[in-house]
Structures are given as C-alpha cells and as structure tokens.
C-alpha cells in the first residue's frame, strides 16, 4: 500500500467496514497528512492518538465554530451541509458561547438524573433480549441495538413512548444520508431534518406549559447569568441530542458485540461474570469505530506535527484511528475484555468531550449485564453490513442467534 491507495472520501470503502488498514498506514507513514480533495488545500487528516487529543484540547487554534464552518468538515449531506451552513448548536461553537450551553446542560444533565433512568432502560433491554431468544435468528442492529438508545433518550427527554420509534426513523435518514438503503433522496433527508426539529419545538411547547421530571423541562427552566435558551436554541439542542445520542450508542452496542465475539472466550468470560460488563464498557468504547471523525478549522497559521497549517484549513480528527494507535495501546486491534483502557478517544477530548458520556456508559454496561445473564451463547450467523458514511461508523445489520442461559 502507498498513500495513493488511500481515499478517505471513498464512501463505498466504508460500506465494507471502517478502513482500519488505511488508518494504520497513515499513523505509520503520514500521521498529519494533507489529504487531497476537490479543493486546492485538501484537508488535514490526523490519525495518531496524541495529535488528535492535542488538537481537540486546543480550541483556540482548532475551532469548532459554525462561523468558520463547524465540525462536519468533509461534507455530509445529512447533518450539516444540507443546510448550506453548519447549524448553531453547541458542538459547533467555541468559547465563550459554547460555555453557556455547556453550563446550562450540565445543570440539567446530572449523573443522578441519568442514573434514575437505569431501571426503565434495564427492563427495555431485558425484554428485547428475551424476545430475540424466542426466534432462531434476529438482526442484532434493527431488533435490539437500534431500539435501546431511543428508549434511553426518550426517557431522558420525556418523549412519550408511542413517539420514540420516530426518532430512530429520522436519525437513520440523517446519518444514513449517503447510504441508499437508509435514505432515498435529498428531499427525504430534508424532511427528516424538519420533522425532528419541529417535533422538538412542539415538545418544548408542551413542556413549557406542563413541566415534567425530564431533561427538556430542566433545560427550559435552566438559566446562566439570568439567561435561558431561546426557542430556536432549544429546538436545535433537542435535535443535536437526539442525533448525537441515538446513532452513536446503537453503533457502539453493535461494534461491541462484534468485538466480544471475535474470540468466543471473551463472551464466555462475560457470561461467567456479568460484573465484567463495567470494565468491558471502556474496551467496547475504545474498540468501536462509531464516530469515525469530527472536524475543526484552523484559526491561525501554525506548525503542527512537522507540517505547516494555514488559517482556514480543515482538519479531520480521526477518533476511530486514535483508538487503535499502537503507541498508545499494545496489540491495539485486539478486543480484550481485561484491557481496562484508562483513556480513549471514543468521546473525543477537550471542551467538546461528549456530553452524553455518562448516559452512553450506562446504556452499554446495563445492556451487556443483561445479555450476559440471559444468553449463554451468542453466535453471528452472517456477515455484518456497514453504513456508507465516513462520519458515523455504523453497523446496519448483524444477524445473530442467541442461546438462553
């Protein structure tokens, strides 16, 4: 292989699974790589753990701001570029604007409030697993993994149970905007986007009149320096939470199962001792290439990793590659339930590190505790299929057979 074989914009390659061999090559030969594209400047691809973490922790140089183009820097017709401009949501903001959101949300997003969601989520996970075991074979993604995060987010945001399936439909169309199986036309993507935003606004109106014991009501009430969120800000925030929370968790659950079953002994150990799910959660997060990259724009000319970057350059932080960096993790491609990685980049790093990390960890841990207790064996019965996207490392289908314990 050489650099000319690598095209991180070739979406068909991602449909065969995350291009881990390309990432390994780049880490070894061109860790800060000016990747060509249709523009004169191309974009910078960062693939080493330390470079990615450094850029993510230096927001004054590596900006997330919507004013400079936001974080979806490689063009993705679903989430950002469809609107022509990056939406004004917290993931696309720099300080001090970003801080206002972060403070408001941490007030509403407390660990205590999220821990209270565990019993309902556990029941939902157990019911899905038990139903799956009644059938000879199921699609782990569509029958189980896709259904759980919308339950968790629905519970958290106070979305009525009968509406929750709609969230998955809309986020599928948005993150799958480049995949013909999930999104048939740009109009369909636009409709999903509008539907999600409008749903958020309607729910906001209902909660403003009748506050409940949920995150949306808390966000409506929350204020920093006597300032709350405007209607438009809340609508955008609602859409961000649903998009950021639904697809990522489902993909981590699915990649995690693939990892656990690569060596059947790993699942066996978890079945023997379901309390291992807590540590396994960190390894599942590290190993799962669920968020392939997020981007930044350079705010000033700077030398980085021996390369000269210019103001306005686009930089893609390939989190999925940093998590497989052999200088950081021994035998990095191997899923090892006992690894206990102390740090990884699954949730990014720096001021934009994932707001939903505590919730995501609960979702993964509780699901795998339930699976380990209920199924003595899990077998993948056919090849997984992957999403045609270089942004979301999605698993679309994963046929499995579960044996009851």
Q: Which range touches ligand HEM (CB under 6 A), out of 27-35, 189-197, 246-254, 384-392? A: 246-254
DSSP labels for 17-73? Answer: S--HHHHHHHHHH-SEEEE--SSSS-EEEE-SHHHHHHHHT-TTTEE--TTTT-S-T
- Please give the Cα distance from 113 to 219 (Å, whole number): 13
Work out whether 159 is an interface residue with ligand HEM (CB under 6 A): no
- Please give the Cα distance from 123 to 138 (Å, whole number): 19
Work out whether 153 is an interface residue with ligand HEM (CB under 6 A): yes
DSSP labels for 126-168? Answer: HHHHHHHHTSS-EEIIIIIITHHHHHHHHHHHT--GGGHHHHH
Work out whether 352 is an interface residue with ligand HEM (CB under 6 A): yes
Q: Which range touches ligand HEM (CB under 6 A), out of 15-23, 77-85, 352-360, 396-404? A: 352-360
Q: Binder to ligand HEM among 151, 177, 193, 249 (CB under 6 A)?
A: 249
* Per-residue contact string for residues 354-393; x = within reach of ligand HEM by CB under 6 A: xxx--xx---------------------------------
**Residue 345 C-beta: closest distance to ligand HEM, Å:** 7
- 237 vs 267, beta carbon nearer ligand HEM: 237
Q: Which residues pair with 380 in a beta bridge?
A: 400
Contact 143, 128 (CB under 8 A): yes
Q: Binder to ligand HEM among 45, 229, 258, 291 (CB under 6 A)?
A: 291
Other CB atoms within a 10 A radius of the CB of residue 7 amount to: 16
For residue 333 the two structure tokens come to 């491609």
Contact 8, 25 (CB under 8 A): no
Work out whether 203 is an interface residue with ligand HEM (CB under 6 A): no
Contact 172, 250 (CB under 8 A): no
Work out whether 102 is an interface residue with ligand HEM (CB under 6 A): yes
Q: Which residue reads 């880490």 in tokens?
A: 27
Q: Which residues pair with 378 in a beta bridge?
A: 402
* Per-residue contact string for residues 252-271; x = within reach of ligand HEM by CB under 6 A: x-------------------
For residue 84 the two structure tokens come to 């022509």
**Residue 101 C-beta: closest distance to ligand HEM, Å:** 7
Q: How far is CA 170 from the centre of its chain?
A: 16
**Residue 144 C-beta: closest distance to ligand HEM, Å:** 15
Work out whether 347 is an interface residue with ligand HEM (CB under 6 A): yes
* Contact set for ligand HEM, span 37-56 (CB under 6 A): 56
Q: Which residues contact ligand HEM (rule: CB under 6 A)? A: 56, 64, 71, 90-91, 102, 153, 240-241, 244-245, 248-249, 252, 290-291, 294, 319, 346-348, 352, 354-356, 359-360
């Amino acid at each position: 292989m050489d650099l000319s074989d690598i095209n991180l914009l070739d979406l068909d390659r991602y449909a065969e699974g995350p291009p881990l061999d390309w990432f390994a090559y780049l880490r070894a030969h061109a860790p800060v790589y000016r990747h060509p594209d249709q523009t004169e400047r191309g974009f910078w691809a960062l693939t080493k753990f330390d470079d990615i973490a450094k850029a993510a922790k230096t927001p004054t140089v590596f900006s997330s701001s919507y004013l400079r183009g936001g974080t979806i820097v490689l063009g993705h017709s679903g989430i950002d570029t469809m609107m022509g401009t990056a939406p004004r949501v917290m993931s696309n903001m720099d300080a001090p604007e970003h801080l206002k959101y972060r403070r408001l949300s941490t007030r509403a997003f407390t660990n205590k409030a999220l821990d209270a969601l565990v019993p309902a989520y556990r029941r939902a996970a157990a019911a899905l697993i038990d139903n799956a075991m009644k059938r000879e074979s199921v699609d782990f993604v569509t029958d189980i993994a896709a259904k759980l995060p919308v339950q968790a987010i629905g519970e958290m945001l106070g979305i009525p149970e009968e509406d929750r399936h709609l969230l998955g439909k809309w986020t599928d169309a948005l993150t799958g905007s480049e995949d013909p199986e999930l999104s048939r036309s740009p109009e369909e993507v636009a409709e999903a986007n509008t539907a999600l935003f409008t749903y958020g606004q309607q729910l906001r109106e209902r909660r403003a009149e009748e506050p409940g014991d949920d995150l949306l009501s808390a966000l409506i009430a929350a204020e920093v320096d006597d300032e709350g969120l405007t209607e438009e800000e809340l609508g955008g925030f609602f859409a961000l939470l649903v998009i950021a929370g639904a697809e990522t968790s489902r993909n981590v659950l699915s990649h995690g199962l693939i990892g656990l079953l690569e060596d059947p002994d790993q699942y066996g150990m978890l079945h023997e001792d379901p309390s291992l799910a807590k540590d396994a959660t960190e390894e599942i997060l590290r190993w799962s290439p669920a968020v392939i990259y997020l981007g930044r724009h350079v705010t000033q000319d700077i030398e980085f990793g021996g390369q000269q970057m210019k103001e306005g350059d686009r930089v893609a932080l390939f989190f999925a590659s940093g998590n497989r960096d052999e200088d950081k993790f021994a035998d990095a491609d191997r899923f090892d339930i006992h690894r206990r990685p102390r740090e990884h980049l699954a949730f990014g790093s720096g001021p934009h590190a994932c707001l939903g990390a505590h919730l995501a960890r609960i979702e993964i841990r509780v699901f795998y505790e339930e699976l380990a207790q209920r199924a003595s064996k899990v077998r993948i019965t056919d090849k997984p299929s992957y999403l045609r996207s270089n942004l979301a490392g999605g698993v679309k289908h994963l046929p499995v057979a579960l044996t009851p314990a």
